[in-house]
Amino acid sequence: MEQQEQTFLPISRKEMTARGWEQPDFIMISGDAYVDHPSFGVAIISRLLEAYGFKVAMLTQPDWKNPAQFGLLGEPRLGFLISAGNIDSMVSHYSVAKKRRQADAYSPGGKTGLRPDRALSVYARKVREVYPQSAIIIGGIEASLRRMAHYDYWTDKLRPSVLFDAGADLLVYGMGEKPVIEVAEALASGIKISDITYVRGTVVCVSELPDPAGTLLLPTFEEIKDSKQKFAESFLVQYKNSEPQRAKALAEPYPDCYLLQNPPAEPLTGDELDQVYRLPFTRNSHPNYEKEGGVPALNEVKFSLVSSRGCFGGCSFCALHFHQGRTVQARSIAAVVEEAEELIKDPDFKGYIHDVGGPTANFRQQACDKQLKYGTCPDRSCLYPEPCKNLIVDHRDYLDLLRRLRSLTGVKKVFIRSGIRHDYLLCDHDPAFFEELCEHHVSGQLKVAPEHVAPKVLEKMGKPGRETYLAFKKRYKEINKRLEKDQYLVPYFMSSHPGSDLEAAVDLASFIRKHEHLPEQVQDFYPTPGTLSTCMYYSGLDPRTMEPVYVPKSPHEKAMQRALIQYRNPKLYRLVFEALNKAGRKDLIGYGRNCLIKPPGSKKDRSTGPGESRGQGQTKEKAGQKTKREVGKK
pLDDT tens-place string over residues 244-295: 988 999 999 999 999 999 999 999 999 999 999 999 999 999 999 999 999 9
In order of 145, 162, 523, 581, the CA distances from 172 in angstroms are 11, 11, 30, 50
CA torsion angle 14 17 21 27 (round to 10): 0
85 vs 28: CA distance, rounded Å? 11
- Which residues make Cβ contacts (< 8 Å) with residue 185, sequence separation at least 6? 52
- Which residues make Cβ contacts (< 8 Å) with residue 350, sequence separation at least 6? 412
Residues 34 and 286 sit within 8 Å (Cβ to Cβ) = yes
Q: Which of 407, 394, 325 is nearest to 363 (CA)?
A: 394
Residues 319 and 374 sit within 8 Å (Cβ to Cβ) = no
pLDDT (0 to 100) of residue 61: 98
Give the number of other CB atoms < 10 A from CB of residue 136.
23
Question: Rg of the chain's alpha carbons, rounded to an integer?
Answer: 25
157 vs 4 pLDDT, higher one = 157
Residues 108 and 295 sit within 8 Å (Cβ to Cβ) = yes
- What is the tens place of the pLDDT at every residue in 385-419? 999 999 999 999 999 999 999 999 999 999 998 88
- What is the tens place of the pLDDT at every residue in 532-555? 999 999 999 999 999 999 999 999
The mean predicted confidence, pLDDT, of the chain is 92
145 vs 530: CA distance, rounded Å? 5
Model pTM score: 0.92
- What is the tens place of the pLDDT at every residue in 102-145? 999 999 999 999 999 999 999 999 999 999 999 999 999 999 99
Q: Which of 406-410, 421-425, 513-517, 562-566 has the lowest mean pLDDT?
A: 513-517
Looking at the predicted structure, is the pLDDT value of residue 623 above 50? no
Residues 35 and 286 sit within 8 Å (Cβ to Cβ) = yes
Phi-psi region of 6 (alpha: psi -120 to 50; beta: other; left: phi over 0): beta
SS3 assignment, position 480: helix
Q: Which residues pair with 26 in a beta bridge?
A: 56, 79
Peptide bond into 385 cis (omega under 30): yes
The average pLDDT across 426-442 equals 97
- Say which amino acid occupies 58: M
Superfamily name with CATH number, domain 13-204: Cobalamin-binding domain (3.40.50.280)
pLDDT (0 to 100) of residue 5: 57
Looking at the predicted structure, is the pLDDT value of residue 615 above 50? no
- The percent of residues above 70 in pLDDT, for the chain, comes to 94
- What is the tens place of the pLDDT at every residue in 483-526? 999 999 989 999 999 999 999 999 999 999 999 888 767 899 99
Q: For 39, which DSSP code? A: T
**Alpha helix locations (H) across 540-610?**
555-565, 573-582
Residues 48 and 279 sit within 8 Å (Cβ to Cβ) = yes
pLDDT (0 to 100) of residue 522: 82
Q: What is the sign, positive or negative, of the torsion defined by CA atoms of 345, 348, 354, 355?
A: negative
SS3 assignment, position 223: helix
Strands 136-139 vs 547-548: parallel, antiparallel or unpaired: unpaired
Residue ranges per domain, the chain?
A: 13-204
SS3 assignment, position 13: helix
The average pLDDT across 236-243 equals 94
- Which residues make Cβ contacts (< 8 Å) with residue 17, sequence separation at least 6? none
